[in-house]
């Protein structure tokens, strides 16, 4: 059985295309994982700020009650 040069070229081109597809796929997955990690960090910061705001509101409420008691 003789393998034609066209078949060899076609197989090589298909292998290159598959390699490019796999590379793009891995890069996209890596980028998405990085973006998810950044979003997690942002959510942690937001949650920390939210917790601090709740404490500030409670403190303010307590201070208002004390001021009302003084009046």
Ordered per-residue pLDDT tens for the chain, 71 residues: 788 999 999 999 999 999 999 999 999 999 999 999 999 999 988 888 888 888 888 888 888 877 777 76
For residue 55, being part of any structural domain is answered with yes
In a domain, 45, yes or no: yes
Predicted model pTM: 0.60
Q: How far is CA 36 from CA 31, 33, 39, 43, 47, in A?
A: 9, 5, 5, 10, 16
Tell me, what DSSP letter sits at residue 61?
A: H
pLDDT on residue 18: 98
Q: Is there a domain that residue 47 lies in?
A: yes
Please, what is the Cα angle at 21 between 6 and 35, to 5 degrees?
170
- Report how many domains make up the chain: 1
Q: Is residue 44 part of a domain?
A: yes
Tell me the residue range of the domain where 45 lies.
33-71
Residue 61, in any domain of the structure: yes
Residue 22 lies in a domain: no
pLDDT at position 8, please? Answer: 94
Structure tokens belonging to residue 1 = 């059985």
Let me know if residue 16 belongs to a domain.
no
Do the domain assignments include residue 7? Answer: no
């Amino acid at each position: 059985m003789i393998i034609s040069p066209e078949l060899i070229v076609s197989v090589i081109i298909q292998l290159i295309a598959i390699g490019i597809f796999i590379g793009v796929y891995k890069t996209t997955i890596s980028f998405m994982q990085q973006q998810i990690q950044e979003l997690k960090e942002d959510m942690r910061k937001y949650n920390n700020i939210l917790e601090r705001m709740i404490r500030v509101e409670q403190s303010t409420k307590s201070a208002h009650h004390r001021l009302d008691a003084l009046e």
